[in-house]
Every structure is written in C-alpha cells, then in structure tokens.
Amino acid sequence: MTLDDVRRYLGAEVICCGEKLDREVTSAFGCDLMSDVLAFARPGTLLLTGLTNSQVIHTAELIDAAGVVFVRGKHPSSETIRLSIEKGIPLLATRLLLYDSCGLLFSKGLRGCSTVDLPETPREATAI
C-alpha cells in the first residue's frame, strides 16, 4: 500500500510533501504516546495520531516512518509543517477518528506493528 492509497481510503488531505505519496507503507501504528511509537514501530510504518506538535515529526524521523496522518480533523502548526518539510516526512489529515482510520486501513490489508499473532478469524474472549 502506498501513501496515496492511504490518502484515498481515509479521504485525507495532503498537508505537505505530496510528491512523496508513492512511498510504500509496510505497517501502521495508531497512538498518541510517542514513547510507545518508539518502542514498537519499525521503518516504513505509517503513524496515525491526534498529536500535532513537533515531537511527532521527530519521532517519525527516528523510526523512519513512511508518513504521518493526523486524525479527528486536526492540523499541525506552521512550525511543525516546516519541520516536516525539512525532514521530508509527508503529512496527511483526515476527519476520521483514530480507531476508524486504523480499522479501515486494516480492512484494506495494512497490518499493525503488533508482536502478537492475530487469529485468522475473530473469536470470543475467554473469561478468566
């Protein structure tokens, strides 16, 4: 899946670095805790978040993210956009919620960064 596919699936607008929408997205990670992103995400990951500060860009750079999608209609400041352009990290924004965005991308075949194997078919949780 490419960033352009993500843009179409989420009805997202391109904030910057639109010339890089041909980047391949290998996985997705939806989170507002950048420490979790650093712990679990890997190169080529698409970061979906409601945070719009410059820490998101620094984190995306550290994990070599394919790009960042801001959810819930949020938009970053001009300073954050400038930093993203400087680092070459594509930014997109969608009106969808984080849960809906991740679920939609999962339904299109994009997997997360989980280290746990997911079952092939949904099953009921077992009471403990």
Going from the N-terminus, what domains does the chain have, and what CATH number goes with each? 3-107 (3.40.1390.20)
* Nearest one of 51, 53, 48 to 80, comparing CA atoms: 53
Residue 43: φ, ψ to 5°: -55, 140
* Average pLDDT of the residues in 21-46: 97
| Better-scored residue on pLDDT, 121 or 11 | 11
What confidence score (pLDDT) does residue 7 get?
99
Positive/negative CA dihedral, 59, 63, 66, 72: negative
Q: In this structure, are strands 13-16 and 67-70 parallel, antiparallel, or unpaired?
A: unpaired
